[in-house]
């Protein structure tokens, strides 16, 4: 939502995709309230037909695309690798990896006709370091970084920049769910914070600022990079 507001402040058109209608509409409203053009589309990013229809909706609205924020992701349950449920592994991979792959495919024809086409795949610092208790999440985010590099090389000839944004823990509902899954929420948060040199989670506005920079402002020569926004976590 913070990214939608920040994009809206730049006055751009955004087709907000979510599997939940209410959330897609809330995001579109946030874009419009901030000064952009917000449109909503309900789609499950793990289903090819849904992804093709959000790309078609975008084409109908604007003909092409100048940026694509490939952002939907789920964390899955907290569980040790040795007993991690296989169906949960498949569910996380379907959204976090298949969804990103399907989006990269479906949006390519629109982006190649964009003026300054930039793609940002949301990975995570979990794509750079170990993620105990979140094996599927960590593996999916490592794979998103790998896929980002391949897309950057393959799409470079069309002038499309592709980067991965890798936030560390963010003050967000997702972190609250992860902390809850670990039992004592406050202890889990303190443990995460102790690992971060900046001693705190990222603020939503910080993630939004970086996403907007990578979607609208970064040099087109910046491509194929996994950019950590993590208070130093990945380098400590």
Q: Which residues bind ligand NAD (CB under 6 A)?
A: 18-20, 23, 44-46, 71-74, 95, 99, 122, 124, 167, 169-170, 172-175
Considering beta carbons, is residue 36 or 168 the nearer one to ligand NAD?
Answer: 168
Considering beta carbons, is residue 23 or 156 the nearer one to ligand NAD?
Answer: 23
Min separation Cβ 38 and ligand NAD, Å: 15
Considering beta carbons, is residue 6 or 72 the nearer one to ligand NAD?
Answer: 72
Min separation Cβ 221 and ligand NAD, Å: 25
Here the contacts of 8-11 (C-beta below 8 Å, separation 24 or greater) are 8/32, 8/33, 8/34, 8/35, 8/36, 8/38, 9/34, 9/35, 9/36, 10/35, 10/36, 10/212, 10/216, 11/35, 11/36
Start-to-end Cα distance in the chain: 30
Cα separation, 32 vs 36, in Å, equals: 5
Range list of H helices, the chain:
2-9, 21-34, 48-62, 86-93, 99-111, 135-155, 173-181, 185-195, 204-212
Min separation Cβ 203 and ligand NAD, Å: 11
What DSSP state is assigned to residue 95? I
* C-alpha closest to that of 228 among 170, 174, 173, 159: 170
Tokens encoding 184: 């004592």
Considering beta carbons, is residue 18 or 218 the nearer one to ligand NAD?
Answer: 18
* C-alpha closest to that of 177 among 102, 83, 78: 78
Tokens 């924020």 correspond to 69
Min separation Cβ 42 and ligand NAD, Å: 8
* 54 in catalytic set: no
Min separation Cβ 77 and ligand NAD, Å: 14
Considering beta carbons, is residue 108 or 137 the nearer one to ligand NAD?
Answer: 137
Nearest residue to ligand NAD, scored by beta-carbon proximity: 73
The one catalytic residue among 54, 137, 192, 201: 137
**What are the catalytic residues?**
137
């Amino acid at each position: 939502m913070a990214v939608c507001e920040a994009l809206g402040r730049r006055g751009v058109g955004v087709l907000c995709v979510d599997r939940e209608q209410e959330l897609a509409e809330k995001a579109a409203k946030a874009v419009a309230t901030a000064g952009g053009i917000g449109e909503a589309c309900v789609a499950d990013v793990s289903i090819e037909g849904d992804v093709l229809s959000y790309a078609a909706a975008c084409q109908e609205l604007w003909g092409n695309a100048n940026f694509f924020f490939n952002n939907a992701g789920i964390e899955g349950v907290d569980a040790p690798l040795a007993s991690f449920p296989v169906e949960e592994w498949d569910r996380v991979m379907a959204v976090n990896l298949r969804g990103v792959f399907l989006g990269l495919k479906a949006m390519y024809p629109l982006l190649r006709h964009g003026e300054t086409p930039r793609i940002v795949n949301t990975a995570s610092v979990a794509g750079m370091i170990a993620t105990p208790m979140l094996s599927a999440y960590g593996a999916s985010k490592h794979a998103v970084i790998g896929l980002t590099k391949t897309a950057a090389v393959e799409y470079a000839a069309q002038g499309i920049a592709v980067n991965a944004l890798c936030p560390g823990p963010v003050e967000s509902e997702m972190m609250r769910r992860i902390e809850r899954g670990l039992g004592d929420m406050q202890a889990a948060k303190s443990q995460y914070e102790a690992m971060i040199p900046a001693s705190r989670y990222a603020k939503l506005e910080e993630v939004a600022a970086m996403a907007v920079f990578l979607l609208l402002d970064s040099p087109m020569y910046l491509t194929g990079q996994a950019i950590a926004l993590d208070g130093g976590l990945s380098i400590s």
